[in-house]
């Protein structure tokens, strides 16, 4: 599907091709993410690897000017739990516009093209997308602006970056046993995922087969990345993956906010005493792990998994482990005392057909896997 530009628009929109990979990687490097720590995400060697995990089918649209890629957006279809029931949903992500073409209407053109594509799938398709809190360019896009009345903020996911300190002792409660997953656990893991996922909004539906495919195909993700929490009967009550994403993307620090700069000075002063990796200066690569597929019904389960994951990751040259949780999710109590540094992401839902088709959502926390950003 190609989109003809408006008469005054200098760009052409078309489906991405495999040959666009290098150009898309360069585009990603030109589009920093602002926050407490402003970073540039490098997507080499395979830009499409993250988008391929968003759903099935998945698509990427590019905008080009004189043969050069200056923008992109991805969207996908996937089954997810909405009000506790599996339904077909949409997802929009990876919206990037070259700084030279920002505030010229290109972001809006990409958003309208995706909206039209999703409308052909189902005008009532509940579609999830996100924006860093305070991201004015995204907030001004068609279908995102409050005056358009076609989208609704349904939650704020806080990305907690937890510094890894080798010589720190952390406590747990609940008496759970934590161990690595095996292939024999997939059926029980999928059942646990379904039970927990139904208590959150927009958790992706995941069968044992889909879970196995993700583990087999995601760069850097292994079955041994998954930690299971078992109760006294040996039943799996929760799990998560600790994903070192070096094979998928790398993050380069552009700048620290004033608050984060102060934290960095203090943290680096005590880092040698705690056998921790120092937070690097601007211009350097920031290494960390990301929590993926967090299936945690309670704060006690999450705490047990995080403490064991912390123990395994500390001392491996990683600066942090990050986990995204809805600010309203009670499991966030598990993060007490971990010195987590926050970044907020707004989660919005829209429907291609407009406000009349927006679903009425129960007051449940939102599930959003920030590892796929």
Over residues 191-203, the pLDDT tens digits come to: 999 999 999 999 9
- Residue 88: is its pLDDT beyond 60? yes
Summarize pLDDT for 338-351 with one digit per residue, the tens: 989 888 999 999 88
In a domain, 93, yes or no: yes
pLDDT, one tens digit per residue, over 7-46 is 456 899 999 999 999 999 999 999 998 877 889 999 999 9
Tell me what pLDDT residue 147 has. 42
The predicted-structure confidence for 241-279, as pLDDT tens digits, reads as follows 999 999 999 999 999 999 889 989 998 998 888 788 888
DSSP 8-state class, residue 281: P
Last residue of a domain, one of 120, 147, 174: 147
Exposure string of 15-42, with b = 16+ CB inside 10 Å and e = fewer, is ebeeebbebbbbbbeebeeebbbebbbb
Q: Are residues 141 and 50 in the same domain?
A: yes
Distance CA 303, CA 291 (A): 13
Longest pairwise C-alpha distance within the chain? 67
Q: What separation in angstroms does the CA of 42 have from each of 35, 45, 141, 247?
A: 17, 9, 25, 11
Q: State the pLDDT at residue 138.
A: 52
Whether residue 367 lies inside any domain: the answer is no
Residue 2 in any domain: the answer is: no
Nearest of 358, 299, 363, 286 to residue 325 by alpha carbon: 299
Shared domain for 76 and 166, answered yes or no, is: no
> Do 251 and 137 fall into the same domain?
no
92 assigned to some structural domain: yes
Q: End-to-end alpha-carbon separation of the chain, Å?
A: 25
Q: Please tell me whether residues 228 and 113 are part of one structural domain.
A: no
What is the structure's pLDDT at 273? 85
Query: What confidence category does residue 95 fall into, taking pLDDT thresholds of 50, 70 and 90?
Result: very high
| Domains of the chain: total | 2
- Per the domain annotation, does 252 fall within a domain? yes
Are both 179 and 65 inside the same structural domain?
no
Mean pLDDT throughout 131-145?
Answer: 55
- Assign 204 a pLDDT band (cuts: 50, 70, 90): very high
Flag whether pLDDT at 140 surpasses 80. no
Grouping H, G, I as helix, E, B as strand and the rest as coil, residue 203 is: strand
Q: What is the pLDDT of residue 317?
A: 86
37 and 140 together in one domain: yes
The reported pLDDT for the residue numbered 134 is 56
Residues in CB range of 172: below 8 A, 6 or more apart? 300, 303, 304, 307
Q: What is the CATH number of the domain that holds 213?
A: 3.40.630.30
Taking the model in full, what pTM does it have?
0.90
Q: Are residues 199 and 325 in the same domain?
A: yes
Same domain, 168 and 105: no
138 assigned to some structural domain:
yes
Among 194, 247, 197, 205, residue whose Cα is nearest residue 222: 247
The confidence score (pLDDT) of residue 165 equals: 80
Owning domain of residue 184? 160-345
pLDDT of residue 6 exceeding 80: no
In DSSP terms, which residues pair with 325 in a beta bridge? 158
**Strands 320-326 vs 288-295: parallel, antiparallel or unpaired:** parallel
């Amino acid at each position: 599907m190609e989109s003809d530009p408006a008469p005054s628009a200098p760009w052409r929109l078309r489906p991405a091709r495999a040959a666009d990979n290098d150009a898309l990687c360069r585009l990603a490097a030109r589009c920093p993410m602002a926050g407490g720590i402003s970073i540039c995400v490098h997507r080499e060697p395979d830009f499409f690897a993250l988008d391929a995990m968003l759903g099935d089918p998945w698509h990427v649209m590019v905008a080009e000017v004189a043969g050069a890629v200056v923008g992109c957006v991805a969207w996908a279809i996937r089954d997810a739990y909405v009000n506790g029931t599996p339904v077909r949903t949409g997802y929009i992500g990876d919206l990037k516009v070259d700084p030279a073409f920002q505030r010229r209407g290109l972001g809006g053109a990409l958003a309208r093209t995706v909206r039209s594509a999703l409308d052909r799938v189902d005008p009532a398709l509940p579609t999830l997308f996100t924006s860093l809190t305070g991201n004015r360019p995204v907030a001004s896009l068609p279908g995102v602006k409050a005056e358009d009345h076609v989208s609704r903020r349904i939650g704020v996911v806080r990305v907690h970056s937890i510094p890894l300190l080798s010589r720190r002792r952390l406590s747990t409660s609940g008496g759970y046993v934590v161990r690595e997953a095996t292939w024999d656990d997939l059926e029980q893991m999928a059942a646990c995922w379904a039970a927990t996922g139904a208590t959150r909004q927009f958790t992706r539906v995941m069968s044992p087969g889909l879970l196995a495919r993700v583990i087999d195909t995601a760069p850097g993700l292994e079955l041994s990345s998954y930690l299971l929490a078992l109760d006294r009967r040996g039943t799996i009550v929760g799990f998560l993956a600790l994903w070192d994403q070096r094979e998928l993307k790398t993050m380069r620090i552009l700048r620290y906010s004033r608050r984060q700069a102060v934290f960095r000075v203090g943290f680096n002063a005590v880092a040698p005493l705690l056998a921790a990796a120092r937070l690097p200066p601007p211009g350097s690569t920031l290494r960390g792990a990301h929590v993926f597929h967090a299936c945690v019904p309670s704060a006690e389960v999450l705490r047990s998994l995080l403490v064991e994951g912390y123990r395994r990751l500390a001392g491996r040259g990683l600066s942090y482990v990050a986990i995204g949780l809805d600010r309203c999710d009670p499991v966030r109590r598990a993060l007490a005392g971990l010195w987590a540094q926050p970044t907020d992401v707004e989660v919005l839902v829209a429907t291609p057909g407009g406000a009349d088709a927006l679903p009425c959502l129960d007051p449940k926390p939102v599930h959003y896997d920030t590892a796929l950003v």
